[in-house]
A = this chain, B = another copy of it.
Amino acid sequence: MSQKQAVEVEVRELEEKDAQELLGLMREIYLQSDFLSMDESDVNHTVEEQRESLKNIYESANNTLLGAFVDGKLVGTAGIHASHQRRIFHIGEIGISIHQDYWNSGLGTLLMQDLIDWAKDSKVIRRLQLTVQKRNTRAVHVYEKMGFKTETIMERGAIDADGHFLDVHLMSLMID
């Protein structure tokens, strides 16, 4: 028997009841990573606003937000955001956020696979896309492993805390 304990992770769609725990996680995560666009303006919602947002996502045909739970505690999220507009209704933009205690644990790969499965089941999402900073090489590698292709590297696609411009990959995966 291996000494290494496998971590049991439950992944499910987040619902209204998860609003408070989600806000708590987001408030921790945005301080942990320079790789995310998320900042304090994204975590200043009230619980009631967050409940409303989760309700709308849950009921939408082309949006989802999955939560990863370890021992019943929310430790990461993975979402697909898509527009209400018909011309681009089929394009899902992916965002994944994981608590630093679970970086490099394989959780990103697991969540991405669940998102891809969700997109396939949705029948309406036909293109997944994401942006990721070029310097976040580990994430780029995970996305490539899952089948994403870099369409371009966007000049000035982000800016770091010191005001320096960063290259950002635009990656996509067709869903059939």
Contacts and interface: CB of A to CB of B under 8 A. Distances in A.
Contacts of A155: 127, 151, 172, 174
A153 B77 CA distance: 30
Interface string A145-176: 00000011011111110000100001010100
Contacts of A83: 37
Q: Could you say how many copies of this chain the assembly holds?
A: 2
Contacts of A84: 41
Contacts of A23: none
A135 to B, nearest CB: 13
Contacts of A87: 36-37, 39, 158-160
Given A151-B152, A170-B152, A170-B170, A159 B86 contact: yes
A69 interface: no
Contact of A42 (B85, B129, B156): B85
Interface in A33-75: 36-39, 41-42
Interface of A: 36-39, 41-42, 83-91, 126-127, 129, 151-152, 154-160, 165, 170, 172, 174
A12 B167 CA distance: 34
Given A126-B165, A170-B152, A170-B170, A85 B38 contact: yes
**Chain B CB within 10 Å — which of A36, A127, A160, A165 has the most?**
A127
A16 to B, nearest CB: 24
Nearest to A151: B152
Contacts of A151: 152, 154-155, 170
